[in-house]
Amino acid sequence: MSTVDEDQRLPADVVPRNDPARAGEPGAALVTGATGFLGAAVVAELVEHTEQRVYCLVRPEDGTAQERIEAALRYYDLWRDTWSDRVIGLAGDLARPGCGLSETDRRIVVAETDTVYHCGAGVNVSYPYEALRGPNVSGTVEVLRLVCAGRPKRLAHVSTVSVLYGHSLEGAEGPGVVEDFAELGPAGALGGYGLSKWAAERLVVQARERGVDALVFRSGTLAGHTRTGVSNPNDYAWLFLRTCAAMGAAPLAGSPLQWAPVDYAARAVVRLTRTSDGSAPPAYHLMAPEQTRYTTLFSWMRRFGYHLRPADFALWRRRVLDASVTSERDELRQIAATLPDAAAGSAAVVPDVACDRTDAELAKLGVRCPVLDEPLARLYLRVGLERAELPAPDRVAAAS
């Protein structure tokens, strides 16, 4: 039996053993991955639109857990000093037993929280499964153990649409379409990250079958915040655009992108989690309903001031790989490690992923995905410049 086969089997002790519900007593929320892009936005959404106290599981690498969560929210331009009594950092680690919580902090989580937003994961598409199984798979088991103890809790598990990649749909020519509200299928030809998230979602499916109150959110590519303009510096699409700006060239790529703003995704997760009547579908899909082509994004970048020479993808890729060897720009090195070799092809099959049912549920709650238009793209570019994530357009023009 392979490691993945073993890992996707939920341990027998993970069953609800919660205390009786306490009517009229609102509980706190626990957010894992709170220093990450989506997790930080979920924390901000909870503080701004609920009355809950928000506990944040944080690895205390440099400084205390409280210092780290405040620093992360400041980094994303979300922190407000008035939040210090409601946003509480708890030192922990998803890859460790009990999520690495101290016994005191574990008692707090078990007794006080009624909602767990599991946004935490190791995210690196170049890592093998074994490097990610600790935080992504074992960590999900530990989170489920917390959910099953003490006060009754609802779990909001953040997965990824990449768990759907890697195999064609039966009866369809090519990749086909994966509807939202769909059950998780067998694992296809996934990379390490996708496979670890697939195994984690399998664990949550089994927990639901045992009576755990859980919702699953498969997230697509997330764009920057519509208010702050801050983007995820490690997001592939943002890295791709930054690389084009740094190279002064853009490949002839007309592929579409469904780029949903992170604050929309956070609001969707929180609103659906708080309003669910306990009969949630197998999974919601958090994606922009409208597609934007990279060629459109490149035209907006050109109007912003970047001189992007059109280039054949193979030639552009070779230039990026060559430049990444000596460049000091981090985006070049990150993109170079993940660029597909068009000549070799790709083992993964990427289906079209639908989100219309999720959008309909969110519309009932007054939540709609903002359209990625040129003004919003210009906000992302302007803030990217201010944060030194993008080179200045005049430098690009001079280099070309």
- pLDDT tens digits, one per residue of 300-315: 999 999 999 999 989 9
Q: Is 321 exposed, middle or buried (0-12, 13-18, 19+ CB in 10 A)?
A: middle
Residues 270, 315: one domain? no
Residues 49, 168: one domain? yes
Mean pLDDT taken over the chain? 89
Report the DSSP pairing between strands 177-178 and 292-293.
unpaired
Residues 265, 252: one domain? no
For residues 98 and 327, the model is more confident at 98
For residues 23 and 318, the model is more confident at 318
- pLDDT tens digits, one per residue of 273-299: 999 887 889 999 999 999 999 999 999
| Per-residue pLDDT at 23 | 62
- Tell me whether residue 357 is in a domain: no
Q: Tell me how long the chain is.
A: 400
pLDDT at 24 over 70: no
Range of the domain at 192: 3-225+260-286
Residues 337, 265: one domain? no
| CATH label of the domain that carries residue 149 | 3.40.50.720
Residues 281, 249: one domain? no
- pLDDT tens digits, one per residue of 66-115: 999 999 999 999 999 999 999 999 999 999 999 999 999 999 999 999 99
- Count of domains in the chain? 2
Listed in sequence order, the residues at least 6 apart from 299 whose beta carbon sits closer than 8 Å to its beta carbon are none
- pLDDT tens digits, one per residue of 370-399: 999 999 999 999 999 999 999 999 654 333
* Look-up of token digits 């944040």: 56
Q: Is 100 left (phi over 0), alpha (psi -120 to 50) or beta?
A: left
- Tell me whether residue 376 is in a domain: yes
| Per-residue pLDDT at 184 | 87
Q: Which backbone phi and psi does 255 adopt, to 5 degrees?
A: -65, 145
pLDDT at 50 over 80: yes
- Tell me whether residue 22 is in a domain: yes
Residues 150, 251: one domain? no
Segments in 8-120 forming alpha helices (H)? 37-49, 65-75, 103-112
- pLDDT tens digits, one per residue of 128-179: 889 999 999 999 999 999 999 999 999 999 999 989 886 555 544 445 678 8
Residues 304, 207: one domain? no
Residues 167, 115: one domain? yes
pLDDT > 90: what percent of the chain? 69
Residues 202, 60: one domain? yes
| CA 147 to each of CA 2, 113, 289: distance values in angstroms, whole numbers, following the listed order | 28, 9, 32
pLDDT at 236 over 60: yes
Residues 304, 279: one domain? no
Buried b (16+ CB within 10 A) or exposed e, 25-51: eebbbbbbbbbbbbbbbbbbbbbeeee
* Residue 344's pLDDT band (cuts 50, 70, 90): very low
* Residue 350's pLDDT band (cuts 50, 70, 90): low
- pLDDT tens digits, one per residue of 248-277: 999 987 788 899 999 999 999 999 999 988
- Tell me whether residue 362 is in a domain: no
- Tell me whether residue 358 is in a domain: no
| Per-residue pLDDT at 348 | 55
Residues 155, 240: one domain? no
Identify each DSSP E strand in the chain by its residue range.
17-18, 28-32, 54-58, 87-91, 113-118, 149-150, 154-160, 177-178, 213-219, 222-223, 249-251, 256-257, 260-261, 284-286, 292-293, 309-311, 352-353
Q: What six digits make up the tokens of 37?
A: 């892009």
Report d(CA 313, CA 63) in Å as an integer: 44
pLDDT at 235 over 80: yes
Domain boundary among 247, 271, 286: 286
119-130 mean pLDDT: 87
- Tell me whether residue 359 is in a domain: no
DSSP code, position 136: I
Report d(CA 145, CA 226) in Å as an integer: 35
Residues 99, 181: one domain? yes
pLDDT > 70: what percent of the chain? 91
Return the closest-CA partner of residue 258 out of 293, 298, 228: 293
Listed in sequence order, the residues at least 6 apart from 269 whose beta carbon sits closer than 8 Å to its beta carbon are 38, 42, 45, 117, 156, 158, 217, 286
326-339 mean pLDDT: 78
Q: With residue 383 as reference, give the H or E element that holds it.
A: helix 374-386
